Structure formats: C-alpha cells, structure tokens
C-alpha cells in the first residue's frame, strides 16, 4: 500500500504539467457540459446530476474525514442525498463491525441534512420512501435564510464531525452567503465543497439561461471569501487527481479553528 500511495503521489505531482492531458480534460469539460453529461447518472435509483469523478472524490473524502453529519444545500431529485447517506451508512457498518456489535438501520448514528428552496412533491415522496430515508433530514427554504441556517445549526452538537456541500443557487452573492453561514460549521480537517466553480471557466451560453456565469459564479465567491478565512485552504491535490470535475478550486479544507 505504501508503494502504491507513493506512486500515486508522483503521478499527481506530474499531472498539472502534462499539457496534452490537461488540455483534453478542459476540452471534455466544455463539450460534456454542453451535452448535459452529468444528467446521465443515478445513485441508488435517484438522479444525481454529478460527474462520476466528483462522486469518487466525495467517497474518498468521506472515508478520510469520517463525518457524522453531511450538510447539503440543493436537493433536486435527491441523488446526492442518497450518495451521502449511503457513504455514511457504510461508515456506521464499519464502526459496528469493528466494535463487534449490530447496527439498527432505523436509528442511524450518522445523518445527512438537505436544504432546498423548493422540494417538489414527487421528489419528496421518492426520498421519503427510499430505504435510506432514516438517514435524511430535509429542510425546505432558502439555504441563506437565517431561520433555515439556525435549524441546521440546532441539529449539530459540538461532538459531531461535519462536512458541507454547497450546490444550490450558483450566483456569487448566494454562494458567498452560504460560505459565511455554513463554513463555520465544518470541523477541522473536514471540507466545505463548493460545487460548480467550473462555471467561471465556461462560456456564458453554457449557463443555460441561469442567472450565474463567468464573473458571477461560485468561483468568484470562493475568491472573495478565502482571504478573510485563513482557517480554510483550497486542497489542490483533489483538483490534480480529478482533472475532469465541476469543482476546480472548490474543495476547501479546514486546517484550523
């Protein structure tokens, strides 16, 4: 395992300097966004609307961080909730096995909190009927509404390890407000993942008539927020590993606090 890790580190250090590889990744990203490539996948029966590379990255980070709570802004069809819930379920199963005890699936230790301004009735019904429903709490409302933020904060006790995923409205002002509200909840050595920072690197027409685009994106929000929050830093090793990702520069690791 040590040899594998060392070889992987060497490959990742070399990746940014591999011009043909990085150019191919950039070209694929632009063409795949245009083709709505991320809309082709489901996780445990629910549309996830994520790139497979980012799904793999989240899996690795959840195993590394071992969070008790994952907070997600943006629910859509619920696929991301199912991904997070299933990863947390596996952590609980591993912990139970190591402790030599059984796990009650109706009383999970780890949970996902999902927030969306509009949880459509059919999506809510499908999520609430899913086998992982016991691990999911949904809150309907704007993720930057102080009352909603308070509801989330009230469900997090000081002993809980927290990881946050921001994936709702992608305008600069909204993401900046989300960072200010939810990043303080992130545990040390855990992550605040800001999705769709790729918007900043794409032509405006690939925003598909949404209010965000280059100059008004999650990436500009991260750039505005980071200088005043030195307890976080961009984990560039994730970018080097993925190459194809909607989260370039958006994997924010809490290093202190």
Mean pLDDT within 223-248: 95
Backbone angle region of 189, left / alpha / beta, with phi > 0 → left and psi within -120 to 50 → alpha: left
Q: What ranges make up the beta strands (E) of 44-181?
A: 46-47, 69-73, 111-116, 136-140, 162-166
One-character DSSP codes across 148-185: HHHHHHHT--TT--EEEEE-S--SHHHHHHHHHHHGGG
**Which superfamily, per CATH, for 2-254?**
Vaccinia Virus protein VP39 (3.40.50.150)
CA quadruple 209, 210, 212, 218: dihedral sign:
negative
Rg (CA), the chain: 18
Cα 111 → chain centroid: 15
Model confidence pLDDT, tens digit, residues 108-141? 789 999 999 999 999 999 999 999 999 999 999 9
Residue 107 has what pLDDT?
A: 67
Token couple for 164: 């946050």
CA distance 231 to 254: 6
**What mean pLDDT is reported for the chain?**
94
Provide the 10 A C-beta neighbour count for residue 171: 19
Mean pLDDT within 165-174: 98
Where is average pLDDT lowest: 9-23, 58-72, 222-236? 9-23
Model confidence pLDDT, tens digit, residues 81-110? 999 999 999 999 998 888 887 777 666 789
Model confidence pLDDT, tens digit, residues 180-211? 999 999 999 999 999 999 999 998 887 778 89
pTM exceeds 0.85:
yes
């Amino acid at each position: 395992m040590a040899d594998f890790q060392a070889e992987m580190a060497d490959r990742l250090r070399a990746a940014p300097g591999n011009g043909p590889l990085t150019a191919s990744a950039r070209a694929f990203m632009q063409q795949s966004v245009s083709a709505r490539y991320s809309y082709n996948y489901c996780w445990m029966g629910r549309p996830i609307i994520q790139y497979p590379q980012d799904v793999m990255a989240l899996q690795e980070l959840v195993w590394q961080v071992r969070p008790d709570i994952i907070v997600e802004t943006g629910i859509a069809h619920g696929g991301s909730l199912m991904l997070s819930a299933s990863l947390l379920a596996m952590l609980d199963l591993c912990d139970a096995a190591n402790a030599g005890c059984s796990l009650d699936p109706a009383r999970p230790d780890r949970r996902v909190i999902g927030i969306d301004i509009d949880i459509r009735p059919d999506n809510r019904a499908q999520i609430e009927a899913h086998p992982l429903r016991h691990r999911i709490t949904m809150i309907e409302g704007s993720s930057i509404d102080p009352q909603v933020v308070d509801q989330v904060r009230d469900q997090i006790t000081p002993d809980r390890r927290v990881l946050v995923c921001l994936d709702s409205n992608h305008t600069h002002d909204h993401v900046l407000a989300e960072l200010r509200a939810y990043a303080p909840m992130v545990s040390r050595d855990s992550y605040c993942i800001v999705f769709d920072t790729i918007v900043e690197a794409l032509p405006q027409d690939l925003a598909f008539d949404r209010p965000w685009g280059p100059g008004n994106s999650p990436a500009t929000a991260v750039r505005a927020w980071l200088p005043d929050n030195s307890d976080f830093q961009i984990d560039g090793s994730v970018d080097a590993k993925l190459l194809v990702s909607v989260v370039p520069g958006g994997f924010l690791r809490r290093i202190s606090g």
